[in-house]
Amino acid sequence: MMDNINLLTRQDVIAGVAERWREQYPAGISHDRDKIYERLVAEKPSTVEAVKAIIDNDSWTILECDVCDERRDAVVMFDNRTTEHGTRICQDCLSAGMRELAE
User: Which residues bind to Zn ion, rule: CB under 5 A?
Assistant: 65, 67-68, 90, 93
Work out how close the CB of 56 gets to Zn ion at its nearest, in angstroms, rounded to a whole number.
Answer: 28
Name the residue nearer to Zn ion (CB basis): 6 or 33: 6
Name the residue nearer to Zn ion (CB basis): 41 or 96: 96
Name the residue nearer to Zn ion (CB basis): 42 or 68: 68
Work out how close the CB of 73 gets to Zn ion at its nearest, in angstroms, rounded to a whole number.
Answer: 12
Work out how close the CB of 93 gets to Zn ion at its nearest, in angstroms, rounded to a whole number.
Answer: 3
Q: Do β-strands 87-89 and 74-78 pair in parallel, antiparallel, or remain unpaired?
A: antiparallel
Closest C-alpha among 16, 13, 34 to residue 25? 34
Work out how close the CB of 92 gets to Zn ion at its nearest, in angstroms, rounded to a whole number.
Answer: 5
Name the residue nearer to Zn ion (CB basis): 51 or 90: 90
